[in-house]
A and B are shown apart, each in its own frame.
Chain A
Amino acid sequence: SQQGEEDPQALSIQEGENATMNCSYKTSINNLQWYRQNSGRGLVHLILIRSNEREKHSGRLRVTLDTSKKSSSLLITASRAADTASYFCAPGRGGSEKLVFGKGTKLTVNP
């Protein structure tokens, strides 16, 4: 399966702290994406990292990818209350266009 599994399932931090979420997957991939979902809303694409990249930054987001361990992490620095959402990883594999989502990490940032 190309599904990613996010860990932890839930994370609660204070505003200003960093939040780290992890993703593990089982098959080889071409790339991996992270999405955010605010409660009851659609998914918003955050960042895509390709299999030949090890680290990528976008604003306060930092994503790492370790293909040997089949894992990725998403770091949100200096978190804000508005970062409160569920975060999902979506491994991308050749030959399939669908995205397969896990249960996500529910992040709560307390003001």
Chain B
Amino acid sequence: EPEVTQTPSHQVTQMGQEVILRCVPISNHLYFYWYRQILGQKVEFLVSFYNNEISEKSEIFDDQFSVERPDGSNFTLKIRSTKLEDSAMYFCASSETARAGETQYFGPGTRLLVL
């Protein structure tokens, strides 16, 4: 069964460094998402992406974040200058369409630790 994959599974970085989290969505899906989950807290929406553009973003997704689909398969989340509070699990998801409540398929996540 097709699945969303993410790399790396774990990333440790120093505060102020840039990190790039990578995702390979399911191949025929057109909509891509990033969510994050700080330890012990809710899963929070960050951004959705369609047709090479951001379609929706949350207040969390400020100027230090950016997303890109550099080729036909990868979808990346870049954090330009990491802060301690960026430590979290980051989940990528994809869906065939963006109809309300359309099933989103999640990857296993990247655990980011900022020291």
Contact = CB atoms under 8 A, between A and B. Distances in A.
Contact of B45 (A94, A100, A102, A104): A100
Main secondary structure of the interface of A (DSSP, over half): loop
B17 to A, nearest CB: 23
A69 B101 CA distance: 19
Contact of A103 (B42, B55, B91): B42
Contacts, number: 72
25 contacts: A30-B101, A31-B100, A31-B101, A33-B101, A37-B43, A40-B111, A42-B4, A42-B109, A43-B91, A45-B103, A45-B106, A48-B101, A48-B103, A95-B100, A96-B56, A97-B48, A97-B98, A97-B99, A98-B33, A98-B45, A98-B48, A100-B45, A101-B42, A101-B43, A102-B42
Interface string A24-44: 000001111101010011111
Given A41-B108, A42-B107, A45-B105, A97 B43 contact: no
A32 B42 contact: no
Given A43-B43, A96-B56, A97-B48, A90 B109 contact: no
B104 to A, nearest CB: 6
